[in-house]
Chain A
Amino acid sequence: MKEQGIQLKNISGNNLEQCLKCSICTVYCPVSAVSPEYPGPKHSGPDQERYRLKDTKFFDETLKMCLNCKRCEVACPSGVRIADIIQSARIEHSKKRPALRDVMLANTDFVGTMANIVAPVVNVTLGLKPVKAVLHGVMGVDKHRTFPAYSSQKFETWYKKFAAAKQDSFKHHVSYFHGCYVNYNYPQLGKDLVKVMNAIGYGVHLLEKEQCCGVALIANGLSKQATRQGNNNMRAIRKSYKEQNRMVLTTSSTCTFTMRDEYKHVLKIENEDVREGISLATRYLYRLVESGKVKLAFRKDFKIRTAYHSACHMEKMGWVVYSTELMKMIPGLELIMLDSQCCGIAGTYGFKKENYERSQKIGAGLFDQIKSLNPDCVSTDCETCKWQIEMSTGYDVINPISILADAIDVEETMRLNNV
């Protein structure tokens, strides 16, 4: 072989040059499909990056049209992290500072805390037409959007009042990264997870200090704050996984994906040592059942026909199969797989006035398919997909964990697992 020092692989450190220009990513890009003015992932990513290296002035604001759905990366046969290149370019070069709207949308923690206090007022107010008009006109939040309702009791509050005390009594233990959505908007999903985990003999604990994973901050150009919160989360997760030997479970695909991949690739936060300690609850459960460590029993009278939507970040992680296989264990459940396509919301993206129309165009195929199938409910692992599909189709969208919690026969399951 050649002597040392002579390059062997002819590849670039930041992998943009592994792109063979085959353009498959552009074919799979949901934005390119509806917006011809978007240069597409290949051109926005690896191609223009070369010119951005020449002069940062070659940065193109059209890059803001990227959903960061990562479908380009899933499609890429050469393993190029196309969307990471685009996100990094946005972080590094975008001259436009985040607007008030972007800051509000991105700060889910702060806004959520405030909203919880006065939830009924906020929920009503956000639904009012004049308020929507102001949000639309002044803030640039699209008037067609329905804000997810805020819960009057945070999940954390519920947990401390009603669940925390008995968790130590279980034989096994896991931590739960609930995320902003469960905490502020939909505590029921968190309660469902506690129900299922307790049934199989696992105590559920909160992390020492959980902050928003930061995905919305990254998307809205607030990477410094995202890095700060990311480091805090990593500290908490490291403690749980390394010191307490507790896996960190999640019920949101995007939070999971952000902490496992975006932290390292986009925010440059070192997470290699705990990456395997973060898992979506469905994947963790599936593996437990599959390895024979736990058994599940289901209610005989449970019947549901659900259509599963593969969220983009589920596709990116390759974890769709865990959620669907877990659901298939429920005898009374009929599962229909929807075609894998982006719903168009991409977190805060679809809330923005300038993106609303594009967002709906992207999701149109999915909405039509759901309507034609007419299931009892849609299931998906992503909360923003849930808002988008519920708003655009009128069908209820339920997390697989909630379906499981509904279907599970708690007493029988406890008996089977000697709890």
Chain B
Amino acid sequence: MVSFINIMYLCFANESKTFSKRTFLLANKISKRKNLNKNLIMTLNNKHNIKESYDVIIIGGGITGAGTARDCAMRGLSVLVVEKYDLANGATGRNHGLLHSGARYAVTDHESAAECITENMILRKIAAHCVEETDGLFITLPEDDLSFQSTFVEACGKAGIRADIISPEEARHIEPSVNPTLIGAVRVPDASVDPFHLTTSNILDACRHGADVLTYNEVVGMIIVNGMVEGVQLCDNHTGEVYEVRSRVVINAAGIWGMPILQMADIKLNMFPAKGTLLIMGHRINNMVINRCRKPANADILVPDDAVCVIGTTSDRVPIETVDDLKITPEEVDILIKEGEKLAPALATTRILRAYAGVRPLVAADNDPSGRSISRGIICIDHEKRDGLGGLITITGGKMMTYRLMAEEATNLACKKLGIDKPCETAVKPLPGSEGLDKNAKEWHLPKAYNAAKGRQGMRVNEIKNETLTDRALVCECEEVSVGEVKYAYENLNIHNLIDLRRRTRVGMGTCQSELCACRAAGVMCSMNKDPKKTLHDLGNFVNERWKGMRAVGWGSTLDEAHLAATVYQGLCGINQIMNKKESK
């Protein structure tokens, strides 16, 4: 099997794409340009190369943890981020990828709406490479109440969100996929954002400012001395080894997993896991975000994300025990398609690549144990004040797109505790990838993979090697990921396995859902980690993880695709047997 990977890799490398000489030379010139960001690397940390003690330990490698790490590190604190799986593995990587204008919350939650529009404008500047400025429509359908539109526009105005009423004709003109029967439309500054690359950039910047990052290390206990949290007990999820790291402050930014973390310190926080299910369509139907102009409900947002679009979401309370293994029901899929078709009728005849679900970390007020009056606002808890336990902060609630503000609030509190007085700069300093001017903005004749990678890594694309035929060869043809980009990600972006690689690039996220790219990616990874056995195991996990998301929408072409992938990996190579054999030994 290992030699199979190598052979596949060699075959594809030989079949690789070359580009015109001119293109090649230009691309060469770019990569040889002086590299401004020398230290843009996430070191693969482990128990042995971290410090004994830090100013701050941040629990959770989602966008909140990443943003908080960046803010803390930029204010000069020594920081350790710990994450039990991989970066952006939880709710961060399982949402719409919508950069809300805030319009959705304008009528029901003024505060959230105002936060959204402020952060929206900030992220367009500091994370330009993760944001695609699509704008959004709020459409009124014949079954909706058109009078809501004026309430909506008024509320947007109060929150500082630009909302222009446009005619149905104009809406159909600027977004041809929109339901043509619409009777009203409002244009708002919604946008599309990539949460994976946003997280990566925040972590990269934190590392540049001295932070350490431990992925696959899980908090299993709190070190509490005399009413003060003084560190955490960690378990290395690869080796099972348990050890301790000390810190002056611990920030719990673990989303819904923050609830069990707090239980380790005997603190009760009333959290209500709310599952939201989404569907990924095979290609872009729409180029603008499409929302329904009514009170927020199920499946009323369709967001264009990179080469796909995403319809969502549902909202259902689920038991906390299920959050690590969410099941998607046929009813949820049905409602998403049915409601989605109302936004853009083309959805009815578009292939669905996969379904996924995330958990919103909603927090109920302390005096509301039933969770009836739940807020979606930001919750920053000083446990010293609330529970009499010093050195512990919980930052939760909120939304992916207000992560920076959440991070700022948590960092302000941490700085206060540590007696540091430094202003927050995260709103003005651009993230790695969005720094500098893009001199190749117009150079569309450059390899498509270069331009696609720029959409992911931003200006860091120039660190991707493309001198050799092999480096320019594609690993993932659906998403234009080159061997060079995989190598770049492996060397710089803290990758343990193929699933991590997917989050740092887009390997396996396209139409084939790993059928073609998994073995190629495994081949490249194997050439670098020199560990065929582990890579083989990773390959099996990767293919199975992809199948998990396809299962809920397993009919039509998606089922055919899965059959083909199963024939190749299971039927031809017997990957499950190889994996099981390894485990039984």
A interface list, Cβ under 8 A from B: 2-3, 5-13, 16-23, 36-37, 39, 42-43, 46-51, 53-54, 57-58, 60-61, 78
Query: Are A53 and B18 within 8 A (Cβ)?
Result: no
Contacts of B512 in A (CB 8 A): 20-21
Query: Are A61 and B445 within 8 A (Cβ)?
Result: yes
B367 at interface (Cβ–Cβ under 8 A)? no
Per the 8 Å Cβ criterion, residues 1-38 of B in contact with A are 15-20
Can you show 21 pairs from A to B with CB atoms below 8 A apart?
A2-B334, A6-B337, A7-B347, A8-B555, A10-B351, A10-B558, A11-B349, A12-B350, A13-B349, A17-B557, A20-B557, A21-B515, A21-B561, A36-B15, A36-B16, A36-B17, A48-B448, A50-B478, A50-B511, A54-B284, A58-B448
B318 at interface (Cβ–Cβ under 8 A)? no
In the complex, besides A13-B349, A47-B511, 18 extra interface pairs with C-beta distance below 8 angstroms are A3-B334, A7-B556, A10-B557, A10-B558, A12-B282, A12-B351, A13-B346, A17-B557, A20-B557, A21-B477, A21-B561, A36-B16, A37-B19, A37-B20, A53-B283, A53-B284, A54-B284, A58-B444
Using A47-B511, A50-B511 as known contacts, say yes or no to A7 and B349 having CB atoms under 8 A apart: yes
Contacts of A50 in B (CB 8 A): 282-284, 307-308, 478, 510-511
In chain B, what residue has the closest Cβ to A19? B511
Using A17-B511, A20-B564, A50-B511 as known contacts, say yes or no to A6 and B338 having CB atoms under 8 A apart: yes
Give bound CA distance, A78 to B564, whole Å: 12
Query: Are B307 and A23 within 8 A (Cβ)?
Result: no
Nearest-Cβ distance from residue A42 to partner chain B, whole angstroms: 7
Query: Are A51 and B448 within 8 A (Cβ)?
Result: yes
Query: Are A17 and B351 within 8 A (Cβ)?
Result: yes
Per the 8 Å Cβ criterion, residues 48-94 of B in contact with A are none
Give bound CA distance, A3 to B348, whole Å: 13
Query: Are B334 and A60 within 8 A (Cβ)?
Result: no
Contacts of B282 in A (CB 8 A): 12, 17, 50
Give bound CA distance, A48 to B346, whole Å: 20
B387 at interface (Cβ–Cβ under 8 A)? no
Nearest-Cβ distance from residue B112 to partner chain A, whole angstroms: 29
With beta carbons under 8 angstroms apart, the residue of A9, A39, A51 that contacts B556 is A9
Per the 8 Å Cβ criterion, residues 344-379 of B in contact with A are 346-352
Contacts of B448 in A (CB 8 A): 48, 51, 58, 60
Contacts of A10 in B (CB 8 A): 351-352, 553, 555-559
Nearest-Cβ distance from residue B521 to partner chain A, whole angstroms: 14
B452 at interface (Cβ–Cβ under 8 A)? yes
Give bound CA distance, A2 to B331, whole Å: 11
Contacts of A23 in B (CB 8 A): 516
Contacts of B119 in A (CB 8 A): none
Give bound CA distance, A78 to B512, whole Å: 14
Contacts of B346 in A (CB 8 A): 13
Give bound CA distance, A54 to B284, whole Å: 7
In chain A, what residue has the closest Cβ to B305? A54
B409 at interface (Cβ–Cβ under 8 A)? no
Using A18-B557, A21-B515, A37-B17 as known contacts, say yes or no to A7 and B477 having CB atoms under 8 A apart: no
Interface size on B, residues (CB 8 A): 48
Nearest-Cβ distance from residue A2 to partner chain B, whole angstroms: 7
Query: Are A36 and B18 within 8 A (Cβ)?
Result: yes
Query: Are A20 and B348 within 8 A (Cβ)?
Result: no
B560 at interface (Cβ–Cβ under 8 A)? yes
Per-residue CB proximity of B277-316 to A under 8 Å, as 1/0?
A: 0000011100100000000000000001011100000000
In chain A, what residue has the closest Cβ to B556? A10
Give bound CA distance, A22 to B16, whole Å: 17
Nearest-Cβ distance from residue B439 to partner chain A, whole angstroms: 16
Contacts of A54 in B (CB 8 A): 284, 287, 304, 306-307
Give bound CA distance, A19 to B16, whole Å: 21
Query: Are B18 and A21 within 8 A (Cβ)?
Result: no
Query: Are A46 and B511 within 8 A (Cβ)?
Result: yes
Contacts of A5 in B (CB 8 A): 337-338, 341, 348
B576 at interface (Cβ–Cβ under 8 A)? no
Nearest-Cβ distance from residue B558 to partner chain A, whole angstroms: 6
Contacts of A51 in B (CB 8 A): 307, 448, 452, 480
Give bound CA distance, A22 to B308, whole Å: 20
B233 at interface (Cβ–Cβ under 8 A)? no
Nearest-Cβ distance from residue A269 to partner chain B, whole angstroms: 22
In chain A, what residue has the closest Cβ to B346? A13
B451 at interface (Cβ–Cβ under 8 A)? yes
Contacts of B516 in A (CB 8 A): 21, 23
Contacts of A22 in B (CB 8 A): 564
9 cross-chain pairs, A with B, having the tightest CB-CB distances, nearest first:
A10-B556, A17-B351, A21-B512, A50-B307, A17-B282, A13-B349, A57-B444, A53-B284, A50-B283
Query: Are B564 and A11 within 8 A (Cβ)?
Result: no
In chain A, what residue has the closest Cβ to B555? A10
Give bound CA distance, A22 to B557, whole Å: 12
In chain B, what residue has the closest Cβ to A42? B477
Contacts of B284 in A (CB 8 A): 50, 53-54
Using A5-B338, A36-B15, A61-B445 as known contacts, say yes or no to A16 and B556 having CB atoms under 8 A apart: no
Q: Please indicate which of the listed interface residues A43, A48, A53, A60 has the most CB atoms of chain B within 10 Å of its own CB.
A: A53
Contacts of A9 in B (CB 8 A): 349, 555-556
Contacts of B556 in A (CB 8 A): 7-11
Contacts of A36 in B (CB 8 A): 15-18
Nearest-Cβ distance from residue A39 to partner chain B, whole angstroms: 6
Query: Are A17 and B20 within 8 A (Cβ)?
Result: no
In chain B, what residue has the closest Cβ to A16? B283
Query: Are B478 and A47 within 8 A (Cβ)?
Result: yes
Nearest-Cβ distance from residue A19 to partner chain B, whole angstroms: 7
Contacts of B348 in A (CB 8 A): 5, 7
Contacts of B19 in A (CB 8 A): 37
Per-residue CB proximity of B501-516 to A under 8 Å, as 1/0?
A: 0000000001110011
Give bound CA distance, A20 to B510, whole Å: 11
Per-residue CB proximity of B548-569 to A under 8 Å, as 1/0?
A: 0000010111111100100000
Give bound CA distance, A373 to B307, whole Å: 50
Query: Are A17 and B553 within 8 A (Cβ)?
Result: no
Contacts of B304 in A (CB 8 A): 54
Nearest-Cβ distance from residue B302 to partner chain A, whole angstroms: 14
Query: Are A12 and B283 within 8 A (Cβ)?
Result: yes
Contacts of B445 in A (CB 8 A): 61
Contacts of A19 in B (CB 8 A): 511
Query: Are B511 and A49 within 8 A (Cβ)?
Result: no
In chain B, what residue has the closest Cβ to A21? B512
Give bound CA distance, A7 to B474, whole Å: 33
Give bound CA distance, A11 to B347, whole Å: 10
In chain B, what residue has the closest Cβ to A39? B17
Contacts of A47 in B (CB 8 A): 477-478, 510-511
Nearest-Cβ distance from residue B281 to partner chain A, whole angstroms: 9
Contacts of A21 in B (CB 8 A): 477-478, 511-512, 515-516, 561, 564
Contacts of A48 in B (CB 8 A): 448
Nearest-Cβ distance from residue A144 to partner chain B, whole angstroms: 23
Query: Are B561 and A11 within 8 A (Cβ)?
Result: no
Give bound CA distance, A46 to B308, whole Å: 13
Give bound CA distance, A412 to B18, whole Å: 61
Contacts of B477 in A (CB 8 A): 21, 42-43, 47
In chain A, what residue has the closest Cβ to B444? A57
Give bound CA distance, A46 to B512, whole Å: 11
With beta carbons under 8 angstroms apart, the residue of B17, B338, B349, B561 that contacts A12 is B349
Query: Are A11 and B351 within 8 A (Cβ)?
Result: yes
Contacts of B338 in A (CB 8 A): 5-6
Q: Please indicate which of the listed interface residues A8, A9, A21, A42 has the most CB atoms of chain B within 10 Å of its own CB.
A: A21
